[in-house]
Amino acid sequence: MAMRKKPMVMVPCATCGKIFPKRPCWVKRTQQHFCSRRCNGKERAKVLVEHRFDRTGMRFPNTGLRGPDNPAWKGGVTYWRKRGNYKPIKYVRCPRAFLAMARADGYVMEHRLLMAKMLGRCLTRAEVVHHINHDPQDNRPENLQLFPSNKAHKIAESAGSVVAS
């Protein structure tokens, strides 16, 4: 035996006033009804603006705590840890002159930035900076070597290394 669905109830949107269908069980649950996520978001934004106060009743100042002014600032350094037992790669805040090399959040790998500063130009995406002693945290200039591509990097690494069995 098939279950019969109850007819839809027409209700007005609390934000825009548009009439739209809604199931009767949902009409009973809430007092405000919205025709779309956009209308729901507009109404929620009004409520959030009302509650933008701290405990003393003062509005939060829009001070723009960015960079060193932010209490959570850690000097513009972050680490990205690979899976496994590898040393993390150090990312630093990228200067404006080398912003073309940075990620979307404005950070760049420290060894790539140091190599770019030594060359006086931005590195291309294809260029690879190799650590001679294979330590990703040792970013001394004498420990860094630039390869034009990953292919050249792998060829040089395989030619210079002996596989131990």
pLDDT higher than 50, residue 163: no
Residues 79 and 88 sit within 8 Å (Cβ to Cβ): yes
Kindly give the pairing relationship between strand 77-80 and strand 19-22.
unpaired
DSSP state of 75: T
Burial class (CB in 10 A: 0-12, 13-18, 19+), 56: exposed
Q: Where are the domains of the chain?
A: 9-50, 75-159
pLDDT digits (tens, 9 = 90+) for 7-56: 889 999 999 999 999 988 888 888 888 999 999 998 888 877 665 555 55
Placement of tokens 């739209």 in the chain? 20
Which residues 6+ apart lie within 8 Å of 36 measured at CB?
Answer: 13
Tokens of 123: 């590195």
Nearest Cα to Cα of residue 42 among 65, 18, 71: 18
The whole-number pLDDT of residue 19 equals: 94
